[in-house]
Amino acid sequence: MIILGIECTAHTFGCGIADDNGNILANVYSEYIPAKGGIHPREAARHHSNVAPKILKDSLKQSKVSISEISGIAISLGPGLGPCLRTGATIARALAIYFNKPLIPINHCVAHIEIAKLMCNAKDPLVVYVSGGNTIIAAYAEGKYRIFGETLDIALGNCLDVFAREAGLPHPGGPRIEKLALKGKKFIPLPYVVKGQDMSFSGLLTAAIRKLREGFSLEDLCYSLQEVAFSMVCEVAERALAHTMKKELILTGGVAANKRLQKMLKDVAKEHGAKFGVVPKEYARDNGAMIAWTGVLAFKSGITIPVENSLIKPRWRLDSIEVPWVESNYEIN
C-alpha cells in the first residue's frame, strides 16, 4: 500500500509518499516566507496554489512511483489557517476524483505524533510537540491522544518568532535567537507562567519585548527568554512523564531543532529513566511525509471520507480524534 499525503495547514505546502512498511518514499515541500511580518493566510494560500503542481510532480519523481500505484490520498484537513487548508483540500479532492482514489482525512497534530513515533522507533511515548502553531504535550490512552499540557495562548515557536521580529532579526527567528542566546551571560528574570499543566507565553513575550525597548542586551534577553520558556515546557513535560509513567519521551515540531531545548528535555528524560528521541529536522517541521504515513495507518483502519463531506476543520482538536491503529499497553488508572 502506498499513500500520497498533502500538508497545507500553515506556511508549508508539502507532498509526501509513504508505504505500509514505514518507508518514506518522498518528502518534498515549499515554505511560504513572508516579506515582512507574520504569515498572511491569503498570501500563504496563494503560495501553496502556485507551488502545488511542481511539489506534487517532484514528490512522485522522487518516490519513483506513478499515480496509478497510489492507494489513497491523505489530506491534512486541520487544524490550521482556513485559506491554506482550503487550497490543499481542493487539490486533494481534485486528485481523488480525477484518479478515482479514496480520500483520507488526517489531523495535522496526529500526523506530527505518528511520524515522530516512526522516526524515533517509539512504541508508546510522551510527545512534546512544539512549533509555531502548537505547543502540546500528549500521550496515548484508550483510543485517543490525550493532552497532558498545552499553551493557553500563543505557541512557543510563535513567541520566539515574534520576539525575533521585534528585535529586527531576519527570518527564521528561532535559530537566530538560539545563536544569540549562546552569547548571553546575564540572566534577566522574565515571567514564568505554568497553570497546572498548561503554559502561557504571551506575558513572557510582552515582558521580553519591553525589556528589549528598555535597552537590555539582546544576547542576554535571547538567553533568558529561551531559558524561561523552555523551563516551562520541561516542567510540564516532566510532570506529564511522572503522571503517565511513559518510558519514552519524544521531541517534535519546528522548535525541536533547538539544541538547548533538546538538551533540557534529554535531562528530564534521563531523570525519569525514559528513552529520549528527537525527530530529524525534515520530519519535525511541517511536511507531507507525516500526512502520508498517518494516511497509511488510518487507511489500514478503514478511515476514508467521501469528497462531498471533506470539509476543512480549522479548529480540529487533537484529543477529539479516535486513533484505532495505535496499539498500546498503557492502562489508565
Partner 1 sequence: MKLIKKGAEAYLYLDDWYGIKVIRKVRISKQYRVKIFDNYLRKSRTLNEAKLLFSAKSIGVPVPAVFDVDVTNSTIIMEFIPGVLLRDYLPQASNKELRQLFEVIGKYVGLLHSNGIFHGDLTTSNMILCNGKPFLIDFGLGGFSKEIEHLGVDIHLMLRALESTHYKVINECFSAFIKGYSQVFNKYNLVLRKVKEIRLRGRYVIERRVKK
- Contact residues toward partner 1 (CB under 8 A) are 78-79, 134, 141-142, 146-148, 150-153, 187, 189, 192, 194-198, 227-228, 230-231, 234-235, 238-239, 241-243, 263-265, 267-268, 271, 314-317, 319, 332-333
In terms of CB distance, is 73 or 84 closer to partner 1?
A: 84
Q: What is the DSSP string of 142-176?
A: TTEEEEEEEBSSS-HHHHHHHHHHHTTPPSSHHHH
| Least distance between partner 1 and beta carbon 230 (Å) | 8
The β-bridge partners of 136 are: 129, 150
In terms of CB distance, is 267 or 282 closer to partner 1?
A: 267
The reply to whether 198 sits in an annotated binding site is no
| Least distance between partner 1 and beta carbon 146 (Å) | 5
| Least distance between partner 1 and beta carbon 151 (Å) | 7
Alpha-carbon span 125 to 27, nearest angstrom:
24
| Least distance between partner 1 and beta carbon 293 (Å) | 22
Alpha-carbon span 23 to 222, nearest angstrom:
39
The reply to whether 286 sits in an annotated binding site is yes
Q: Are strands 144-150 and 194-195 parallel, antiparallel or unpaired?
A: unpaired
The reply to whether 217 sits in an annotated binding site is no
Alpha-carbon span 227 to 65, nearest angstrom:
46
The reply to whether 22 sits in an annotated binding site is no
Amino acid symbol at 73: I
The answer to whether 244 and 330 have CB atoms below 8 angstroms apart is yes
- CA geometry: angle at 133 spanning 227 and 321, to 5°? 120
- CA R_g for the chain: 20
| CA 270, 272, 275, 281 torsion-angle sign | negative
In terms of CB distance, is 142 or 282 closer to partner 1?
A: 142
| Least distance between partner 1 and beta carbon 25 (Å) | 31
In terms of CB distance, is 301 or 320 closer to partner 1?
A: 320
Cell numbers found for residue 330: 498503557
| Least distance between partner 1 and beta carbon 229 (Å) | 12
In terms of CB distance, is 170 or 189 closer to partner 1?
A: 189
The reply to whether 133 sits in an annotated binding site is yes
The reply to whether 108 sits in an annotated binding site is yes
Cell numbers found for residue 107: 489531523
The reply to whether 302 sits in an annotated binding site is no
Write out the binding residues. Answer: 108, 112, 129-133, 161, 174, 178, 258, 286
Write out the binding residues for substrate. Answer: 129-133, 161, 174, 178, 258
